[in-house]
Amino acid sequence: MRYNGPMIKRFHELQERVLSYYPEANIELLKKAYAVSTDAHLNQRRASNEPYITHPLSVAAILAEMKLDEISIAAGLLHDVIEDSQYTREDLARLFGQEISDIVWGVTKISKISEVDVEDAQAETLKKMIVAMTADVRVILIKLADRLHNVRTLAPLAEEKRIKIARETLEIYAPIAYRLGMGKIRDELEDIAFMHLYPEDYRRIKEEVGGRTDWALQQVESLQQRIQAMLKELKIKAEIQYRIKREISIFRKLQKQNIELENVYDLLALRVITDTVANCYVIMGAIHQQWVHIPSRWRDFITNPKSNFYQSIHTTIITREGVKFEIQIRTQEMHRNAEEGIAAHWKYKEGLAFLENDNRLQWFREMIDYHKSNPDPKEFLSLVKRDLTPNEIYVFTPKGKVVNLKAGSTPVDFAYAIHSEVGDHCKNAVVNEKLVPLRTRLSSGDVVEIVTHKDSHPSADWLRFAVTPRAKKRIMAWLQKEESAEDLERGRRLWQKVLRAYGRRLRTGFSEADIARRLRELRYDDLEAFLRDVGGGRQALDRPALRALFPEAGAVAIAPARRAAPRRGERHRLISVEGAGDTDFTFAKCCHPIKGEEIVGYVTKNRGLVVHRRDCPNVNAEIPSRLKRVSWMEAPDYTYRVKLQLLADDKPGMLSTITGVTAETGSNIKKVEIEPASQAVVRITLVFEVRDMFQLNDITGRLQALPGIYSLQRRKAAAG
């Protein structure tokens, strides 16, 4: 089940392994790569005190187990050379050619990540891995082999480092292996990472399952014999394998269903591997005739493959003894795909051409496209982690074609999965012959038909319920295109007004060259870009801008500027906006951000820049091109209005105690409301002012510690 052939400690063993599946391999190339790697890592040792060369040799051995080409294996031998020695990218290109040099450089770039911010570093690692694999999938195969050997040798490391590597393996590397269909690597990465991350749970499950092993093996062998007899009757050749559920799979089931181990009934599984698809269905039918099966646990992944190309029939039966077994039925070809994934049919004589249209890489391409349109690293990390191991549904077109979608998908996601044009002109959806709203959540087995119209186009509202990256990317692209055209037209009207006014004042016209020269004062080389920013409210035609454009005319603003938000105590100095000086803004009324909270700016068409809390749901689904990075500045005299709602005992002195807390912390109460909530309990609403989140946290912490306070919630604050 794993890439764990005999341990390789000498180069000649690697050579024999490669020649066993590729007799024409260029062994001289591998010898040269091994020699350079040995030289580069001379006197270097691993945490186990072994010579460092054992690591690249082991990585190359794992790649040979995948039956990869000599280019991949040579790059595997050299994968740490640039990072850990004096050899450069140019040295490798000179010694081994550009192809190997580029692969090693791709692996090296993934490792060179700053860890100042763990989330940003993880997001950057993911992005680099995805970019590298879409350029040359061998980069990620080497990186997975590298990580596999690293987790196999975690024991000598300090606990903190072991846990960090194990968590990253479980959250990133194992899911990537799953997406590429590489079941063997995914399973081993998960098993080892789980053992280090949750050692007590691992030991407990292993011991409890181990206590039932003898009984389980008896049951499995009995069922295996019955199926063998059935196959003999059917005159079908097949191999039968069995397994006991992995510890991490049991752990996840216990967590998800909140049950004890004795209530996990599908500890045992059989796998029947035959030669043809037709035989898979014959075997399934025979099994269902001989044993009771659980309909809700039957899955046909042959007709409806998973997004990583996994194919198999899954069914769960109940024996006469009342034991539940999962049985998987597949062909040898499907089994190789399930185990090896994208490396299953490596054409080492044909290069990479056969991988160019491999749909297993499509998801990674879409992630990179999405990141280009929405570059926030934390959001990218969240999206990728959420989608790496997706819950999937299988729906059908009216003609019976299967469409694989993320769980929670809507007809809009379905439309874009069919074709971009279908999504862009989607008007209505018919699900199971009934007209439904476009926000309807689809379920496996639904038959979906999309009604299109040439005048129908995406709406910003679609972003609130579309869930697939492909759909979101296309919707945003359409909205940005439409918005850009509107902004350009609006900006052109405002600019023409300015030119007419200043032309009259200066008694002259303005040539294109003159306008281009003046725009450079505002750092614009492109008139259209300037007009779009003016029309979209990203560039104000205020006094500073007009003074820069028309210094000879004085500082009087002729064009009516956008109506600015009222300033209070130099309010414009509360925040700084990326790429802008003093900028008028308003705080969002939906989330009322307070200094100290993470914030983001959103450029609206009518209200200019509006500042939201970063976690505000009203900004997460907005168009990324309108988002601005903003940060807090020093403004000690400015206060923010907060509304808190408390449930408290209805007893004398309670209100006085609560208001005393705000007074002690230097906060000014603006409003108090009290109403009965139930018998002996009142609802108290406080509106008060704070300087920042530190003061608010101090107040809420003190209030929550008071006897007689049952709950405390922050509400939408009154304007002030």
Retrieve residue 560's tokens.
Answer: 């009516």
User: What is the C-alpha to C-alpha distance for residues 379 and 487, in angstroms, rounded to an integer?
Assistant: 27
Give yes or no for a contact between 537 and 604, defined as CB atoms under 8 angstroms apart. yes
The DSSP symbol for 342 reads G
The residues, any chain, with a CB within 8 Å of residue 565's CB and separated by 6 or more, are 571, 584, 585, 586, 607, 608
Q: Which amino acid does the sequence have at 601?
A: G
The residues, any chain, with a CB within 8 Å of residue 389's CB and separated by 6 or more, are 175, 178, 179
Give yes or no for a contact between 569 and 640, defined as CB atoms under 8 angstroms apart. no
Retrieve residue 581's tokens.
Answer: 């000086």
User: What is the C-alpha to C-alpha distance for residues 281 and 265, in angstroms, rounded to an integer?
Assistant: 25
**What's phi and psi for 64, nearest 5 deg?**
-70, -35
Helix (H, G, I), strand (E, B) or coil at 618: helix
3-state secondary structure 143-155: HHHHHHHHHHCCC
Tell me the CB-side half-sphere exposure of residue 687, using CA atoms within 13 A: 11
**Axis crossing angle, helix 11-21 with helix 70-78, rounded to the nearest 10:** 160
User: What is the C-alpha to C-alpha distance for residues 27 and 539, in angstroms, rounded to an integer?
Assistant: 63
Cα 74–76–81 angle (5° rounding)?
Answer: 95
The DSSP symbol for 172 reads I
Retrieve residue 111's tokens.
Answer: 């490792």
In the block, residue with structure tokens 């406080």:
686
DSSP 217-228: HHHHHHHHHHHH
User: What is the C-alpha to C-alpha distance for residues 640 and 586, in angstroms, rounded to an integer?
Assistant: 13
In the block, residue with structure tokens 């603006």:
670
Positions annotated as catalytic residues are: 83-84
User: What is the C-alpha to C-alpha distance for residues 241 and 271, in angstroms, rounded to an integer?
Assistant: 5
Quick one: how far is CA 200 from the chain centroid? 29
Q: Measure the N-to-C terminal CA separation of the chain; round to a whole number of Å.
A: 66
**What's phi and psi for 87, nearest 5 deg?**
-65, 140
Q: Report the candidate in 616, 620, 563 with the shortest Cα–Cα distance to residue 589.
A: 616
Q: Which amino acid does the sequence have at 498?
A: V
Helix (H) or strand (E) holding 138: helix 137-152
Give yes or no for a contact between 699 and 665, defined as CB atoms under 8 angstroms apart. yes
Retrieve residue 702's tokens.
Answer: 């003190």
Strand 585-587 relative to strand 608-613: parallel, antiparallel, unpaired? parallel
- Number of Cβ atoms within 10 Å of the Cβ of 457: 14
User: What is the C-alpha to C-alpha distance for residues 423 and 451, in angstroms, rounded to an integer?
Assistant: 10
